[in-house]
Amino acid sequence: MLRYLLHKLALIVPTVFGISLAAFAFVRLLPGDPILALAGERGVSPERYAQLIEQFGYNRPYVIQYLEYIGRVLTGDFGISIATKRPVLGEFQALFPATLELATIALIIAVLLGIPAGIFAAIKRGSWFDQATMGVALTGYSMPIFWWGLLLIIFFSGYLGWTPVSGRIGLQYFFKPTTGFMLIDSLISGKSGAFRSAASHLILPAIVLATIPLAVIARQTRSAMLEVLGEDYVRTARAKGLAPRRVIGLHAFRNALIPVVTTIGLQVGTLMAGAILTETIFSWPGIGKWMIDAIGKRDYVVVQSGLLIIALIVMAVNLIVDVLYAVINPRIRVQ
Amino acid sequence: MKKKLTFAAALLAASVIGGMANAKQLVYCSEASPAGFDPSPWSGGNDFDASSRTIYSRLVEFDHGKTTISPGLAESWTVSDDGLEYTFKLRPGVKFQTTDYFTPTRDLNADDVIFSFERQWKKENPWYSYLEGTGWEYFTGMGFPDLLKEIVKVDDLTVKFVLNKPEVAFLPDLGMDFASIVSKEYADQLDKAGTRQQFTQKPIGTGPFQFVDYQVDAVIRYAAWDGYYGGRQKIDDLIFAITTDPAVRAQKLKAGECDIMSYPAPADIAGLQADTNLKVDEQEGLNIGYLAYNTTVPPFDKVEVRKALNMAVNKKAIIDAVYQGAGQPAVNPIPPTMWSYNKDIKDDPYDPEAAKKMLADAGVKDLSMKIWAMPVSRPYNPNAQRVAEMIQADYAAVGVKAEIVSYEWTEYRERGKQKDRDGAFQLGWTGDNGDPDNFLFLLGCDAIGQSNYAIWCNKEFEDLLKKGKATTDVAERTKIYEEAQVVFKREAPWLTIAHSKVFMPMNKKVSGYVMDPLGIHRFDGVDVTE
């Protein structure tokens, strides 16, 4: 098991460097630069521009800039935002709990609805339930997040008035964050109605963010279940007279779990990407919105460091998923 | 002593937080997060709304809803005959805000004024580079490093600005956000503690509201400052709910989650106007949307060609389709609400037949050109792509073939400045300080390579511009600028497209909000009826 873990860890090192290089290059490939973006429509004189480029060191060869950057990152210094002048890591730490909370609830929704939907669709293959579930899943998968979010806001917040339009909690609740997770902080605050307010603010963005992963998980569970249900050992289990619930729950589902767990692990990346749009629509103060703002301002430091930190987190989650495989399926450890 | 202060601070925080339930509260749905709360290093309107206009004050202040100025922290001033010395008498007894992180021991004095400018000006000032990479762009952009010779403390409540050259717009400039007055005592305290960064995170000013809390990218909270020299505000709490999407801001306003919002999308305005709980204030924007020809490249170097192209464009159709009626065709480079606007100038008429003939007379045949379309929406031009398409169709009717080009926003402006730029370039401007020079300088010879996208340097216009800047008498300046507009219209370096209207939707329970021609959102004097 340890060897397996070390092998996985060894793969992460070149990946991190690759991503840091890609992030560094990506932001510089975008047209425009941070000096011009900062100057705005007022513009900046060529002399002043030259001065500022010199000051930030963006006139030096890219190789030098990258090596310096990576050197600082290795010491835990992710740099200072060009736009806000605040440390990138500090901004990330302040905003990440909001994204994590949203993504976790979205993932819970996706898993809790997606897996049972997939299982039932597989069991009732070809039935109207199967057709309807997969139809809805395909629609969910193809739905543009921005449009979907706005549609839900207009219907549930505007027309029905059931949920708040945006934000994380009602403005009447004001307390210093303890954990950064609003659901937990609202409980700790002891203010009556705070938790309810936080939950009602979370529900729409979580549904929007859960839509694509839910569709993917449901479809993946269905296909994995169908494959397993056709296996000999399932037929044998049935022939032995085991109860259908036991056959599906114990024999089929356990074996269908591996691709499903893989899919769930991969959804972390999807959730991060989806968070960018979801957070923008719902004014959710997380890292997705933060990255979008940084790209708009050509804030090289935030974009390259932010991408790297997000990638590190996604890789860490994938590593955990890999370890989980090994726990679920001992054959993987041996291989 | 320290314990007492901590207790007092805790009491203040508790009263701010605890009092919230009964407090009179105004929620403003703002469009973006501020980069920081120091009023001087940044240049975005949303930065100013969140810092300078709420927390800080200036020596002079723009009158509510106007571009004229009145005494602010300076109760009076005198200007020397040569226009080189401005002596300000400071208002006595002005208090800096007391918060849980700063308790001032003295009132505002000349040291604060000098510090507020020198930190942006003198590189040897330790606060010049307290934020990495700060260029103090507004201070620099307004030409202050060259303009200021020295700032002298005459006594505690008298401060003298000595200039290198006369500058008629100096007083309005001091009403601008970058010229907000900060506390030197607070800066010294942070210096001692080694926490300079806090200056922009936990601000202290003399303005109508004091800072309470900022949850990054989400909510900014302010409380009315009891010691404000202009009197305590009627609202107790001011909250900025940061909501980047205009459609979502409109939904929040309709749902009662905010009381007032900035920058509605043109498509949402009718819906907001129809809502019986809301009212939508509107005002002529102090702005201009234009199309700049490259006057150095043939055939656009010929006035007749530029005039002909101006006459080919149906501006009214553009106003109706793109500005959705919320604008008016622009005649001059300055908006009609600004003093010195020349009402006698007639616009080039929309006359495709005459335009065609003028082009033929100028020897222009089968002209192909580019029309540049901004990739972003701005109050002065909500949809540059659509404007470009309409101009393209109008040009086609007079036999001119046009291709529309666009680039990423910063790239767009950079490419537009190139002297050999191919084609006519859309852009616009919103005024900073209500002075005509703040618009006309866009066409000055010195602005080529920066804001003069017509790359137009006309001696007659330039002389008038310089004369205007050196003249203090307003009546005389008015005449000079009226004449400059005549030269502009005759030479036609731009197709002046439109001056747009600006809208401010709010709940009917909000009273006392005055729209600002400079595009600032200020909440002093605003009340909310429960």
Residue of B nearest to A49 (CA): B135
pLDDT at B525 over 90: yes
Chain A residue with CA closest to B415: the answer is A32
CA distance B131 to B137: 13
A141, A273: one domain: yes
Confidence band of A43 (pLDDT split at 50, 70, 90): low
Put simply, whether the predicted model's pTM sits higher than 0.90 gets the answer no
Same domain for B377 and B446?
yes
| Shared-domain flag, residues A250 and A210 | yes
**CA B174 to each of CA B57, B85, B114, B433, B437: distance values in angstroms, whole numbers, following the listed order:** 10, 14, 13, 9, 15
- Note whether B408 and B519 are same-domain residues: no
Q: Determine the pLDDT at residue B19.
A: 43
Interface size between A and B, measured as CB pairs under 8 A = 144
Statement to judge: residues B494 and B368 lie in one domain: yes
| Res. B6: pLDDT tops 50 | no
Give the residue-averaged pLDDT of A225-246: 85
Segments forming the whole domain that contains residue B142: 25-241+509-528
* Cross-chain Cβ contact B218/A175 below 8 Å: no
Contact criterion met (CB < 8 Å) for B20 and A154: no
Give percent of chain A with pLDDT exceeding 70.
97
Residue A36 lies in a domain: yes
Please give the average per-residue pLDDT across B282-304, as a whole number: 94
CA proximity to B398, closest of B511, B496, B277, B312: B312
- Same domain? B293 vs B207: no
- Per CB-CB distance under 8 Å, the chain B contacts of A154 are 251
User: Could A171 and B241 be called an inter-chain contact, meaning their C-beta atoms sit closer than 8 Å?
Assistant: yes
Same domain, A124 and A67: no
Look at B100 and B43; give whichever has higher pLDDT: B100
Give CA–CA dist A34/B35, Å, rounded. Answer: 14
Q: Is residue B436 part of a domain?
A: yes
B260 falls within a domain: no
Same-domain status, A70 and A93: no
How many CA atoms, within 13 angstroms, populate the side-chain half-sphere of residue B517?
Answer: 23
Residue B17 has pLDDT above 50, yes or no: no
pLDDT tens digits, A56-85? 888 889 999 999 999 998 898 998 888 888
Q: Do A43 and B218 touch (CB under 8 A)?
A: no
Q: Is the bond preceding residue A116 a cis peptide, omega within 30 degrees?
A: no
Q: Are residues B235 and B293 in the same domain?
A: no
Tell me: do A100 and A207 sit in the same domain.
Answer: yes
Residues B57 and B192 in one domain: yes
> Does A5 reside within a domain?
no
Residues B513 and B492 in one domain: no
Minimum mean pLDDT among A39-53, A202-216, B243-257: which range? A39-53
Whether residue A8 is contained in a domain is answered as no
Same domain flag for A246 and A165 = yes
- E strands along B83-205, which residues? 85-90, 148-155, 158-163
**B452 three-state secondary structure:** strand
Instruction: Note the pLDDT tens digit of each residue in A268-287.
Output: 878 888 888 899 889 899 99
Choose the most confident range, by mean pLDDT, from A19-33, A252-266, B242-256.
Answer: B242-256
Classify residue A163: in a domain, yes or no. Answer: yes
Amino acid occupying residue B229: Y
Q: Residue A130 — φ and ψ, nearest 5°?
A: -60, -50
Residue A186, domain extent:
87-330
Statement to judge: residues A66 and A171 lie in one domain: no
Classify residue A298 as left (phi > 0), alpha (psi -120 to 50) or beta: left
- ipTM score of the complex? 0.82
Q: Is A1 a domain residue?
A: no
Lowest-confidence region among A86-100, A307-321, B181-195: A307-321
User: Can you give the pLDDT at residue B16?
Assistant: 45
Q: From chain B, pick out residues whose CB is under 8 angstroms from the CB of A283.
A: 217-218, 241-245, 248
Helix%, strand%, coil% for chain A, nearest 5:
80, 0, 20
Report d(CA A278, CA A296) in Å as an integer. Answer: 17
Does the residue B147 lie in any domain? yes
- Chain-chain contact of B411 with A32 (C-beta, under 8 angstroms): yes
Do B321 and B207 fall into the same domain? Answer: no
Give which of B498, B517, B476 is closest to B333, Cα–Cα.
B498
Q: Cβ atoms within 10 A of the Cβ of A190, count? A: 9
**Domain check: are B318 and B445 in the same one?**
yes
